Amino acid sequence: MALYAIGDTHLSLSSNKSMEVFGIGWENYVDRLRDGFCAVNPEDTVVLCGDLSWGMSLQEAERDFAFLDSELPGEKWIVKGNHDYWWTTASKMSRFFDEKGFSHLHILHNNCALYGDVALCGTRGWFFEENGSPHWEKVFNRELMRLAASLKAAGEREKLCFLHYPPLYKGYRCREIIELMEAYGVKTCCYGHLHGPSHRLAEQGSIGDVDYQLVSADFVGFRPKKILE
């Protein structure tokens, strides 16, 4: 049994918005994802760090969910990304997955999941600027509360955190999210969102009390990154 993470699959099996228009780094990316999951076993756990599908609704994203559920092995826990326009309430998504028989897809949102004795926590995250608009500040504060709720749900267990937005990169630090993770003793934080030339902005490794890892699909070669055995 192993724990993996990957973000930004950007599937579009029912729409015409393919990531292949962004260059050779995304050529044949659906097949590369299928091949990349060959190392994952059915009993393994994979956290998907947002931007799963370009579908605008659950119905439009159905083929993408079917691909994730049945063509890629492992139990998958899903974090929201900024392009997951299909995202609705956890109850509606869970009911949709149940109705369609997607038994290997689970929502990581205002809750935590367990991998043995380790708690998997997460939320979308957000970019926040002190001079941002009141709207963005409201969204940011909501994400902070969701992350706090997820971390609190883990109790005294060892905690790993999975975000879509990076909480830090070259020239940027999201102090509030970093301090929240450190206060709850998070050991590792995996994040996505950065693609192509933006990979150079990523900061990885031990920074403060947390080990940071970029897991965007094009960064990890469309192979889920192993986090724990």
pLDDT, average across residues 157-181? 95
Global pTM reads 0.94
Mean pLDDT score, 121-149: 84
Q: What is the pLDDT of residue 133?
A: 64
Q: At what angle do helices 134-153 and 175-183 cross, to 10 degrees?
A: 10
Tens digits of residue pLDDT in 172-194: 899 999 999 999 999 999 999 99
pLDDT tens digits for range 79-97:
999 999 999 999 999 999 9
User: Per-residue confidence at 26, pLDDT binned at 50, 70, 90?
Assistant: confident
Is the per-residue pLDDT at 208 higher than 70?
A: yes
- pLDDT confidence tier of residue 130, bands split at 50, 70 and 90: low
Mean pLDDT of the chain: 93
State how far the Cα of 27 lies from the Cα of 18, in Å rounded to an integer.
Answer: 10
